[in-house]
Amino acid sequence: MAPLKIGYLLPTRDQAVRGDHDPDQLIDQARRAEALGFDSVWAGDSPVTRPRADPLLLLAAVAIATRRITLGTAVLLPALRHPILLAHQLATLDRLADGRLIVGMGGGFPNANTEAQFAAVGVVFPRRISRLEESIEAMRRLWTAEEVSFTGRHFDFHDVRLAPAPTRPAGPPIWLAGGGEPALRRVARLADGWLPYPPAVQDYARDLAVIQQSAARTLTPALYATLCLDEDPERARRRLRSSIERYYNAPLEAVETIQAMFAGTAHQAAGWLNAYTGAGARHVVIRLAADDHHAGLEEFAGRVLPLIRTEGHP
């Protein structure tokens, strides 16, 4: 079994909601996560629906400011972009990071706000999944061949050369989000990793088994999880509600039916996470629901991370 890794989601959206747009604080958080022993830092993507700092530009700065830690997108929406331009950006970012990049990708959750985001940039929302799949194929060709011609349903280009190439010959690994039968088939067919957020560990174990039965390549099972830590579980629940409803502008009860979320003590949080690692998750990306993200990062590293490291390994 692969070693367990723990990642930290940089609070780009939380910072933007507060009206604070200083990127230096986010870069400092990435440096601190590396110093505290996290394995990866991640940045989300939503230019219109939930505006925040651009993930690729932010991670470029983080790549220069760090040395060891893996950088990832959680998750990028490639259907909003042309694959030539995105492949170029990702290859350059992988160079800046010296091969430390993971490209987490998704299609975009189906709701009115997300549809409006796609409409704003002129992309037909119902075609986003086929654009996603076609973009992955096109980018992998662009990363691995000297000259590429491509004709698909959405993109058509000829004799294109990209420079620089990514650090790794096959390009950065692509992890896909998603649950449900079509998404699981897509993960098995296209992805190097799976980054879902199922609220029930039983669903995670079942879906992972489905993927592994037909996966086209060795795949990293990951998890995207939101936690709010407090020694008073009732207060943790109130703080989680405040954070999530501010983040999504939707009731907590609606969001937690879709996403893996926990509110409680540090010891309880470790037990909850270890249930997922016991079900097969080997890279856990933590989003903290916190008012003070500096203090939250320190608390998780000091009180939860050691318990996951100890109890999460077989």
Spell out the per-residue pLDDT of the chain, length 314, in tens: 789 999 999 999 999 999 999 999 999 999 999 999 999 999 999 999 889 999 999 999 999 999 999 999 999 999 999 999 999 999 999 999 999 999 999 999 888 989 999 999 999 999 999 999 999 999 999 999 999 999 999 999 999 999 999 999 999 999 999 999 999 999 999 999 999 999 999 999 999 999 999 998 999 999 999 999 999 999 999 999 999 999 998 999 999 999 999 999 999 999 999 999 999 999 999 999 999 999 999 999 999 999 997 654 44
Measured CA to CA, the distance from residue 307 to residue 229 in angstroms comes to 14
Q: How many CB atoms lie within 10 A of CB 176?
A: 28
Nearest to 177 by CA among 187, 167, 164: 187
pTM: 0.96
Lookup: tokens for 291: 């008012």
Nearest to 227 by CA among 172, 264, 192: 264
Nearest to 296 by CA among 61, 21, 6, 8: 8
Measured CA to CA, the distance from residue 220 to residue 194 in angstroms comes to 6
